[in-house]
């Protein structure tokens, strides 16, 4: 969205405004206004022209400009109907020197999950990668991932779904009382930097939103199946706003994570290259590592695949 379009939307927020009035207040020609209004319509803004002027009647489309409109977080939004992977695109943007961009897609044809797994990402989901250049150390990077899981879980809960977090950062729906669950969302964080400085970080969030669960791998569920479809524009705005709030208050991430955790109190197996750890998950550290009470005492695990037993 360009500056003139931004100013037009600002002017229309308070009600209808005529073309000549817009042209005068923005100091551009009436033809320029007409052209920019046309561009906004193409981007999904429903603008009617009536006797009192142009009127913004609805914003329902899911596009870059509509997601940027009303977004209370400092990200520009790049939208794709279809892309290989939003994380791969964010990486590309990082090499071009970009920052504070949310790459969004309706569908990913080569979605990537953790541990080199594929991630099924059909049309209707919320697939978004946020590229930032934070002033943090690589040791703090896991907090960014936890911040994203808290952000997703909170936005999903607002949509009426009992979303919880399975360590480290899967958003799941509990099934029964035994720590069983279905997976609703996941995160893939990629970054580049030096030993003491992160250069860029791309947090890729995948949320099974308006999709039928039976079109996804077993064990997955969707917001549609749990509570019905969401307005993806408003929903992704909430995710981005929550993520922005938590990344700017990293000290509040772990307490918020604890409140939403399904893993704490569970008997778990952590599958690590250095060997499995089995025991009860009792806490997370300030850095987001899981504390497991094993037969041989407490062990702290900072990475691995976690299974609820
Ligand atoms: C996982 O649970 O294994 C992580 C899944 C992460 C998927 C998201 S969808 C948006 C972004 N682009 C990708 O290719 N992957 C992440």
- Give the distance (Å) from ligand 1 centre to CA of residue 13: 35
Cβ-proximal residues to 158 (8 Å cutoff; 6+ apart), any chain: 238
pLDDT of residue 303: 84
pLDDT of residue 158: 97
pLDDT of residue 150: 97
pLDDT of residue 287: 87
Q: Atom 7, ligand 1: which residue's CA is nearest?
A: 206
CA distances from 95 to 61, 99, 177, 201, 238 (A): 30, 10, 46, 11, 28
Reported ipTM: the value is 0.99
The domain segmentation of the chain, as residue ranges, is 3-59, 64-260, 267-308
CB atoms within 10 A of CB 251: 9
- The two domains 3-59 and 64-260 share their CATH topology (first three levels equal): no
Helix (H, G, I), strand (E, B) or coil at 208: coil
pLDDT digits (tens, 9 = 90+) for 45-81: 999 998 889 999 999 899 999 999 999 999 999 999 9
Q: Atom 3, ligand 1: which residue's CA is nearest?
A: 113
Atom of ligand 1 nearest to the CA of 115: 3
pLDDT of residue 194: 92
Instruction: Please answer whether residues 271 and 305 qualify as being in contact, where contact means their C-beta atoms are separated by less than 8 angstroms.
Output: yes
- Tell me the C-alpha distance between 227 and 103, whole Å: 26
Sign of the torsion formed by the C-alpha atoms of 205, 114, 145 and 95: negative
Cβ–ligand 1 distance for 145 under 6 Å, the answer no
Q: What residue ranges of the chain have pLDDT lower than 70?
A: none
Give the CATH H-level superfamily of domain 64-260: Bira Bifunctional Protein; Domain 2 (3.30.930.10)
pLDDT of residue 99: 97
Instruction: Please answer whether residues 65 and 80 qualify as being in contact, where contact means their C-beta atoms are separated by less than 8 angstroms.
Output: no
User: Does the pTM of the predicted model rise above 0.80?
Assistant: yes
Torsion of CA 160, 165, 170, 173, to 10 degrees: -40
- Spatial CA neighbour of 114 closest among 149, 79, 82: 149
Partner residues linked to 292 by β-bridges: 281, 299
The topology under which CATH files domain 3-59 is Arc Repressor Mutant, subunit A (1.10.10)
297 alpha carbon, distance to own chain's centre = 37
Instruction: Please answer whether residues 227 and 139 qualify as being in contact, where contact means their C-beta atoms are separated by less than 8 angstroms.
Output: no
Please state which CATH class domain 267-308 belongs to: mainly beta
Residue that is written with structure tokens 């077993």 in the block: 218
């Amino acid at each position: 969205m360009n500056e003139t379009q931004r100013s037009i939307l600002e002017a229309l927020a308070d009600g209808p405004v005529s073309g000549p009035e817009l042209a005068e207040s923005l100091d551009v020609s009436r033809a320029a206004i007409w052209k920019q209004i046309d561009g906004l319509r193409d981007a999904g803004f429903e603008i009617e022209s009536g006797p009192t002027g142009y009127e913004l009647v609805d914003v329902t489309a899911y596009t870059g400009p509509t997601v940027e409109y009303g977004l209370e977080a400092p990200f520009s939004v790049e939208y794709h109907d279809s892309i290989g992977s939003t994380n791969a695109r964010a990486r590309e943007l990082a090499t071009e020197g970009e920052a504070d961009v949310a790459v969004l897609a309706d569908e990913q044809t080569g979605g990537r999950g953790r541990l080199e797994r594929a991630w099924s990402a059909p049309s209707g989901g919320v697939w978004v990668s946020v590229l930032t250049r934070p002033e943090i150390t690589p040791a703090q990077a896991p907090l960014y991932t936890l911040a994203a899981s808290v952000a997703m879980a909170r936005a999903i809960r607002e949509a009426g779904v009992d979303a919880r977090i399975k360590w480290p950062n899967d958003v799941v729906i509990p099934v029964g009382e035994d720590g069983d669950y279905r997976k609703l969302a996941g995160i893939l964080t990629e970054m580049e930097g030096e030993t003491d400085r992160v250069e860029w970080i791309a947090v890729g969030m995948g949320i099974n939103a308006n999709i039928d669960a039976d079109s996804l791998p077993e064990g997955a569920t969707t917001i549609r199946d749990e509570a019905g479809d969401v307005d993806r524009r408003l929903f992704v705005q909430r995710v981005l706003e929550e993520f922005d709030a938590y990344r700017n208050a990293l000290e509040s991430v772990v307490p918020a994570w604890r409140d939403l955790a399904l893993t704490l109190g569970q008997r778990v197996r952590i599958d690590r290259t250095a060997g499995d750890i089995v025991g009860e998950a009792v806490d997370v550290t300030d850095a987001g590592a899981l504390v497991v009470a094993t037969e041989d005492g407490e062990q702290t695990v900072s990475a691995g695949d976690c299974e609820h037993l």
